């Protein structure tokens, strides 16, 4: 064991590092964990002491083999995108390096860990944002080309309707002109929806739970009690700064998607959960935020088709075959205008949309 004064001095140095460090002996039993590693593993050293380090990994047999080889061969190694889990907690993705060391005729392995989920999320956010920007640029160009002739078509149809009315044509003939006008208006509205909100957010102080309550009340009226709506609010969340109308629309679009998914499923007890939590030290749009509000909207439906999961925030993508496939794109655009973002995770039985909004504290 590490009980000499010099060894304790080294452990004190390891404890002061921001890098996550775990020290294991030649049996791969944990003998030291610094505070940075405790934060990644989400458990204290007291509970970890003596446990075999390889049991924390998703593939303990493989982890045990490579770590023992490192000690016996005195060779360092690095692993990428490894999954660690403590008890029944969520898996954490890490990169780690293992370096063998000798002390007092005993062999040890210093394992340096780096949590990478945050970097993966940031890269995913940047890729999605770039894709959405490209999509919006294309849509703006197409919208201009589409809307210009629509005005002329509508005007011509109205003039033709007047001309035919003067000639006392049959109502069936006049109805064709009205169909043209109606369809032109429908296309124009579709283009406007593709372009998203044409007004900048009217920012003011809002209570996020009042916004959610408004959405839940609307959903309750639409579902008529056929779907359970469960609220799980964190009362400590401070007021946010935003446009309540745009945030309501974003949450409502996501909630309606969940409703349609549940209505088309065989779920006997359909439920939509509305959950709020405060999240510390979060990155949004490349900017570090001290505190953000996370709104989770979760349903127990069949899940999102894996073939469209990576494209659900793009226009004209729909998992139900209903509507124009614009709801999630409009929601993401509205939240982006508030400096926030929306993430989605989905497996059969649980689809969760997480809205992140910065909190000014």
Q: pLDDT digit string (tens) for 290-344?
A: 899 999 999 999 999 888 887 888 777 776 666 567 788 889 888 988 989 999 9
Between CA 138 and CA 210, with CA 324 as vertex, the angle to 5 degrees is 100
Query: Which has the closest alpha carbon to 216: 259, 174, 264?
Result: 259
Instruction: Give the integer Cα–Cα distance in Å for 48 and 27.
Output: 15
Longest dimension (CA), the chain: 108
Instruction: Give the integer Cα–Cα distance in Å for 15 and 192.
Output: 57
Rounding to the nearest 10 degrees, give the CA dihedral for residues 326, 328, 333, 335: 150
Buried b (16+ CB within 10 A) or exposed e, 188-206: bebbeebbbbeeebeeeeb
Burial class (CB in 10 A: 0-12, 13-18, 19+), 357: buried
Give residue for tokens 């309750």: 220
Could you give the 3-state DSSP secondary structure of residue 261?
A: helix
pLDDT at 153: 85
Instruction: Give the integer Cα–Cα distance in Å for 228 and 300.
Output: 11
Query: Which has the closest alpha carbon to 339: 215, 200, 236?
Result: 200
pLDDT at 335: 92
Number of continuous H segments (helices) and E segments (strands) in the chain: 9, 12
pLDDT at 205: 93
Q: What is the DSSP letter of 317?
A: -
pTM above 0.85, yes or no: no
Which segments in the chain show pLDDT lower than 50? 1, 5-6
- Determine contact, residues 115/94, Cβ cutoff 8 Å: yes
Q: What are 225's two structure tokens? A: 């009690």
Instruction: Give the integer Cα–Cα distance in Å for 224 and 178.
Output: 36
């Amino acid at each position: 064991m590490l009980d000499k004064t010099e060894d304790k001095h080294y452990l004190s140095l390891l404890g002061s590092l921001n890098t996550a460090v775990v020290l294991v002996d030649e049996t791969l039993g944990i003998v030291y964990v610094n505070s940075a590693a405790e934060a990644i593993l989400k458990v204290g050293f007291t509970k970890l002491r003596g446990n075999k380090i390889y049991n924390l990994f998703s593939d303990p047999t493989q982890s045990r083999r490579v770590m023992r080889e490192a000690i016996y061969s005195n060779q360092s190694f690095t692993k990428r995108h490894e999954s660690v889990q403590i008890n029944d907690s969520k898996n954490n993705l890490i990169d780690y390096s293992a370096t063998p060391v000798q002390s007092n005729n005993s062999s040890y392995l210093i394992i340096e860990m780096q949590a990478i989920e945050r970097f993966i999320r940031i890269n995913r956010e940047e890729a999605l944002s770039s894709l959405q920007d490209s999509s919006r640029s294309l849509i703006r160009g197409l919208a201009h080309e589409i809307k210009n002739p629509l005005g002329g078509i509508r005007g011509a149809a109205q003039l033709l309707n007047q001309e035919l009315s003067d000639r006392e044509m049959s109502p069936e003939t006049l109805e064709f002109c009205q169909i043209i006008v109606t369809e032109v208006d429908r296309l124009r509205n579709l283009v406007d929806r593709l372009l998203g909100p044409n007004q900048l957010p009217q920012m003011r102080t809002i209570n996020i739970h009042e916004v959610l309550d408004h959405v839940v009340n609307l959903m309750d009226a639409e579902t008529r009690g056929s779907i359970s709506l469960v609220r799980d609010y964190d009362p400590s969340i401070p007021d946010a700064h935003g446009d309540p109308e745009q945030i309501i629309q974003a949450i409502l679009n996501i909630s309606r998607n969940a409703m349609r998914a549940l209505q088309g499923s065989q779920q006997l007890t359909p439920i939509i959960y509305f959950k709020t939590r405060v999240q510390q030290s979060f990155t949004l749009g490349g900017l570090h935020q001290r505190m953000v509000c996370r709104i989770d909207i979760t349903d127990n439906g069949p899940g999102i088709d894996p073939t469209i999961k990576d494209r659900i925030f793009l226009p004209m993508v729909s998992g139900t075959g209903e509507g124009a496939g614009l709801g999630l794109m409009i929601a993401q655009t509205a939240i982006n205008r508030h400096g926030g973002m929306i993430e989605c995770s989905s497996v059969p039985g649980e689809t969760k949309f997480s809205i992140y909004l910065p909190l000014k504290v």
